[in-house]
Amino acid sequence: MSNNVRKSLIFTGLVILLISVIFITVSSKEANSKSKDVALNKDTKIFDKNINNFSAWVVYWDLNSDKEIKTLDKKLKNISYFAANFNSNNQLVMPEELINYYNKTKSYDYNKYITIVNDKMNSDGSYSLKDTNLLNSILSNPDSRSKHIEEIINLAAKYGFDGIEIDYEQIKNDMKLWDNYILFINELYQKAENKGLKLRVVLETNTPFDKLSFPEGPTYVLMCYNLHGGFSEPGGKADPEFIRNSIEKMSKVPGKKDFAIATGGFNWASNGKTTSVTEAEASNLLKTYNVKAERDNKSQCLFFNYKDENNIKHEVWYADKVTLESWMKVITEKGYDISIWRLGGNLF
């Protein structure tokens, strides 16, 4: 073989090798830039090893949570049983499903809270959700507040809960109601502490923190979600910037603070209907309509589009383990614990 032929073959080989390297590099970048909805294998650890002391909610309409509870294992410190509400006579009631589930899980090794919400069942069977008229009627004077506090304490004691969680929402800028609510929190905390009961108070991001002075004692839990929902255009329930801003809003609130992130997401249909979806439901939609999810860089949420059998377009945004970890990191870097709304339908 002549030197010229040998040189020619070497040169050709180098060119082929260079092209191969470029192709592999480009292909790898393309693969990495595309979002993949990858199922976790059974050996995948749940969340960062440094993230502990989770609190989470179980809800009466979706109590298939045992697998997720076992997955969280020792990281799970508190469970809030959602929720007791009010009947048409303004009396507290617990859904039968929740009572049965509590009785089944009362021996589990975590603190158990009963969540109380300002939802009211009317005499005709309909519901008034996040009813502030109800709050005004039960918190407006010392006697009615005291009666309500006694009923809450008795409910928690009846079933043997470790603590009470108050989740009264939509107070917004009703400052008179806020004043009565803060009196109620302070009075409830004193009574609960005397009975050996812990107290958590859930707050919304639209709470006028700069105008209020919350009492020290309870754990205050801020809902770091609802950035997008049925009231808005499609998007993630939160993003890191939204969570940082939410944490900053709570800077005036004293004592222990938790920050809550939300699992699942929403499905926006072109006919104007928006429905909530769990991660499992979103995963089933991907398979049913043979589409792939992409990851939004800002929120770290997954999203996808499809057209259903009625030719209606849908856009779905939801959180997975990667999303939740990115949000958790923002919270833990500030030194706070995390609450998860909610268990059920997650593919941890």
Residue 125 has φ and ψ, to the nearest 5°, of 95, -10
Per residue in 295-341, pLDDT tens? 999 999 999 999 999 999 999 999 999 999 999 999 999 999 999 99
Q: 0.85 exceeded by the pTM?
A: yes
Report the C-alpha gap between 313 and 321 in whole angstroms: 26
- Name the residue type at position 101: Y
Residues 6-17: tens digit of each pLDDT: 444 444 444 444
Q: What is the pLDDT of residue 45?
A: 61
Tokens (6 digits) for 129: 């959700």
Residue 202 burial (CB < 10 Å; 0-12/13-18/19+)? buried
Coil, helix or strand at residue 219:
strand
Share of the chain above pLDDT 90, in %: 84
Amino acid in the structure at residue 184: F
Work out the pLDDT band at 348, boundaries 50, 70, 90.
Answer: confident
Domains and CATH numbers, the chain: 44-223 (3.20.20.80)
